[in-house]
Structure 1
Amino acid sequence: MTPADLGYQQPAEWTPHDAVWTAWPHDADEWSDGLDAPRAQLAAMMTAIADL
């Protein structure tokens, strides 16, 4: 049985949806220039999404 058989799908990015799943940058080892910029960019993206 495949994920599609179980009803899972990957909709197109322009398909209307009810939620957005994201993760907060927290592991400094993965961000060589620090966490401030990625966190600010993610916060801006979240604000833009919330305004829709």
Structure 2
Amino acid sequence: MSFARRWLLASSIVFALVNMLEARGYPWRNGAVLRSNYREVMTPFLRAL
């Protein structure tokens, strides 16, 4: 469970940083792709918890 919490925390921090940079207008080429991949990765993991 501690590994799951750490992984969840790290991925949410990364996701927040990406969103922050996108909000500032940082030119992500694959921003939308990254977001959809993040959702695809997170959904089954959250269901497993």
TM-score between the two structures when normalised by the length of structure 1: 0.47
User: Which is helix-richer, 1 or 2?
Assistant: 2
TM-score between the two structures when normalised by the length of structure 2: 0.49
Which structure has more relative contact order (CA 8 Å, sep 6+)? It is 2
